[in-house]
Amino acid sequence: MKKYILAVVTLAAFAGMSFAQAPAAPAKAEKPAAAKHAKVVVENFTGDISAIDAATSMITVKDAKGVEKQFTLEAAKLAGLTVGAKVKVTVKDGKASVKPIQKHEGKHEGKKAEAKKPEAAGK
C-alpha cells in the first residue's frame, strides 16, 4: 500500500510540473501591442508668418506671446503664403500643414454695429 501511495504522489508531482510549463509562443509577424494603440500626436500653432525660406521650404511663425517656431512645408504650399499672414499650423505624424486665418465679416456683425448706433437727438 505504501508503494502505491508513493507512486501516486510521485506521478502527481511530475504531472503537475509538466502542466506548469508555459507553451512556446509561436512567432508572429504582427506589430507589438504598444504600436497598435500608440497615440497620434497632433501639434497646433497659431501666429503670424515672420519669415519664409524658399530654399529650405521652411517658414517661421511667431505667436502672440513672441514664441517662434519653424516648420518645413512642401514647396507647393509655400506659394500662397506671405510674410505677416496669420496662419494655423498643424503638425501630425511629422508633416506640417498650414491654413491661413482670415477675419470674416458676416452679415451678423453689420447688424450689431447698426443696432448700437445712437438715435438722432432731433426726434
Say which CATH number the domain at 71 has. 2.40.50.140
Amino acid 59 reads I
Q: Tell me the CA distances in angstroms from 44 to 89, 100, 109, 122, one per residue in order.
A: 6, 13, 28, 53
Supply φ then ψ for residue 99, to 5 degrees.
-125, 125
| Average of per-residue pLDDT across 83-110 | 80
In a domain, 60, yes or no: yes
In a domain, 13, yes or no: no
Domains in the chain, number = 1
In a domain, 92, yes or no: yes
Please write the tens of the pLDDT for every residue from 63-76: 999 999 999 988 88
In a domain, 115, yes or no: no
Measured distance CA(55)–CA(85) in Å, rounded: 20
pLDDT of residue 24: 64
In a domain, 105, yes or no: no
pLDDT of residue 41: 82
Q: What is the extent of the structural domain holding 65?
A: 46-100
Helix (H) or strand (E) holding 61: strand 58-62
Other C-beta atoms within 10 Å of 56: how many? 10
| Percentage, residues of the chain above pLDDT 90 | 24
Please write the tens of the pLDDT for every residue from 17-66: 555 556 666 666 555 555 566 677 888 999 999 999 989 989 999 999 99
